[in-house]
A and B are shown apart, each in its own frame.
Chain A
């Protein structure tokens, strides 16, 4: 007799005994170690050579305050290290939540139209002159625009989520909203002059390199709170993965859970896009990488792994983006795709090599 699909799913979620647990522990420990090593490298490496002793001094010695080395290390490298770790982790977690919500492996913040909403509202500010009397090009104004865009689209999706039970329909709604936002942006572009378009295009080249300490404080605070709250959801998420009916029998308020997932995903994407611009692929690829590495879909392990690996991924991609074309800089979104696609393909091929 064939195994029932729900039982197979149950195995995927709950198959965490013995060797599997060792593997999970190893991956998590290695992720933490890798994050630490990459962070040290990212602080030490840059377009300006600073001897290791000076790096340590700049970080820990009050005597170095105000020196050029200290400015570079603390205000330029450390900020982007923190930004890329939290940004990468946030986008990865956002992608994981959406993939669970839609039970669709290609779901990510772009699919729900959240990123497109952020882009539209920034477009309204930069191309449309929707300034409301404020300084248009202030980084904070752009942040508010992007956040408002992400939250607006998320709000609309939430409204639909209240009425619709089918996640597939919700996925279609998100996709449609994404298309609508893109169309509206194109409309704005058609009526804007070249300078404004150039500026908008530059904003679209995501970068973790321009965040100020004030912005990082917001990013870290928002992400930390949602990371912690997400851990409280892991059991409910596992139940949801076994089916809505199963989750209900386990006492999960599925409608409420779906709302929380959309809310968390929207806020995480919004806050990262607002400060760093759109950064593609992390949301989709990192959950895959983690599933393939952990060989489990148990969210008790997957969720922290996704945050950690997302951080490593963001950090490494940012390091590459700022060093390979120095003194210029590449868009971090370009690197996330260049680095992420081969990794995901390699892991997929390795997993399915027999059938290939």
Chain B
């Protein structure tokens, strides 16, 4: 009898311990119910702000003389931390990714050997997969990946995508979907693996969520190579955008990718310098609405959007003591932030909210009435653009758009591309 009691006690203790451990690891972190909107985004995150045009590593000369198969250079991106490209004399390249773990995703590291036609395969190197010849058949399994190909004018290489035609805001890809030269393959766990296999992709670009890894495991079992992209794991907007350089290496368009990044950097510098001259800096509440209670998921300074807001002098609003990139708030905790914010940004495009005409669409339970918010009364409520997730490499548009939102008077000369737009749907 005593043994039984002991066993039961051990089980209960083990379960309790599991719960405590797991709660400690919850990505949202425990919300301190301080209620006070006191956590005005301290710069707790290190942001590599755009630097002067220097610091760009020169791309290796493809015509340089050297022993075929010997390492010529290793290209290290300026902002992105998750990959490098090794160049070998004789034309071979190795893309080496090293993606850090996040609260929702594990770490990934892969090496892909690219052997364009006529290239010499280096001896004594390790790799997970080899792609011979030009990369011509790709399936992009995340919205941002398709955007990278689009910016490099390589959309014709996309034969399958997780973006539906109706919600595709990449013109060339939309046309391809309409014409059938690219196909929608489904998304997440329920993607059509048969269809993906029938497209005979040389490569499937994939994100890091658990459902993505499940799909990748199934595809890889069938000999279909999946390359994890780590743009989501970068904590800075320029770092996210610079994954275009990986696509550049895949497509042999390194110079074009670097040029795009240099333009991005220059554009960001310009708006940052102009914003620095503005004396009054706004507070920003950047949130998404969740169908799960509590309903308000507020971004913190640990989220990559802070790298944009803080570069432009804005201060993110969130409760004190949060060390995760977002925090879920109850109505009670959200209300003071909502009332205080100078600018309110709804962080999901309206693709899924066709009925939403303005931010009051999210009025909740009679307790959260956005029409009471200072930002609403000053017409300072915004929403990210329809193409937000599909165009992450276009830093120029994003930063100019955000600058217009934060400082409409000072940036009235700029044309808003719609990356961040007024939440007032006509």
Which segment, of B15-23, B111-119, B125-133, B308-316, faces chain A?
B15-23
B-side contacts of A152, CB under 8 Å: 11, 15
Q: Are A196 and B104 neighbours in the complex by a CB distance under 8 Å? A: yes
Q: Are A72 and B198 neighbours in the complex by a CB distance under 8 Å? A: yes
A-side contacts of B7, CB under 8 Å: 159
Q: Are B210 and A199 neighbours in the complex by a CB distance under 8 Å? A: yes
A36→B321 CA distance, assembly (Å): 61
Q: Which of B186, B193, B200, B223 has the most CB of A within 10 A?
A: B193
What is the chain B residue whose CB lies nearest that of A142? Answer: B210
Partner of B188, one of A126, A130, A202: A202
Tell me whether B328 is interfacial, beta carbon within 8 Å: yes
Q: Are A202 and B211 neighbours in the complex by a CB distance under 8 Å? A: yes
B-side contacts of A137, CB under 8 Å: 105-106, 208-210, 213-214
Instruction: For the complex formed, measure the closest distance between the CB of B20 and the CB atoms of chain A, giving whole angstroms.
Output: 10
Q: Are B26 and A203 neighbours in the complex by a CB distance under 8 Å? A: no
Which segment, of A25-33, A187-195, A224-232, A337-345, faces chain B?
A187-195
Tell me whether A170 is interfacial, beta carbon within 8 Å: no
Q: Are B26 and A188 neighbours in the complex by a CB distance under 8 Å? A: yes
Tell me whether A236 is interfacial, beta carbon within 8 Å: no
B-side contacts of A209, CB under 8 Å: 190, 193, 218
A245→B194 CA distance, assembly (Å): 55
Which segment, of A260-268, A308-316, A327-335, faces chain B?
A327-335
Q: Are A76 and B197 neighbours in the complex by a CB distance under 8 Å? A: yes
Tell me whether A18 is interfacial, beta carbon within 8 Å: no
**Given A47-B192, A202-B189; A191-B328 close (CB under 8 Å):** yes
Q: Are A327 and B184 neighbours in the complex by a CB distance under 8 Å? A: yes
Partner of A327, one of B183, B221, B293: B183
Docked complex: A153-208 residues within 8 A CB-CB of B: 155-156, 159, 162-163, 184, 187-199, 202-203, 205, 207
Q: Are A207 and B189 neighbours in the complex by a CB distance under 8 Å? A: yes
Instruction: For the complex formed, measure the closest distance between the CB of A284 and the CB atoms of chain B, giving whole angstroms.
Output: 25
Q: Are A197 and B292 neighbours in the complex by a CB distance under 8 Å? A: yes
Tell me whether A129 is interfacial, beta carbon within 8 Å: yes
Partner of B23, one of A191, A198, A210: A191
B-side contacts of A198, CB under 8 Å: 209
B-side contacts of A131, CB under 8 Å: 25
A-side contacts of B22, CB under 8 Å: 124, 127-130, 188
Tell me whether A248 is interfacial, beta carbon within 8 Å: no
A-side contacts of B31, CB under 8 Å: 191
Tell me whether A87 is interfacial, beta carbon within 8 Å: no
B-side contacts of A136, CB under 8 Å: 105-106, 210
Tell me whether A138 is interfacial, beta carbon within 8 Å: yes
Q: Are A138 and B190 neighbours in the complex by a CB distance under 8 Å? A: no
Name 5 interchain pairs, CB-CB below 8 A, sorted by A. A128-B26, A130-B21, A188-B23, A326-B195, A327-B192
| A interface residues (Cβ-Cβ under 8 A, vs B) | 46-48, 66, 68, 71-72, 75-77, 124, 126-131, 135-139, 142, 152, 155-156, 159, 162-163, 184, 187-199, 202-203, 205, 207, 209-213, 322, 326-331
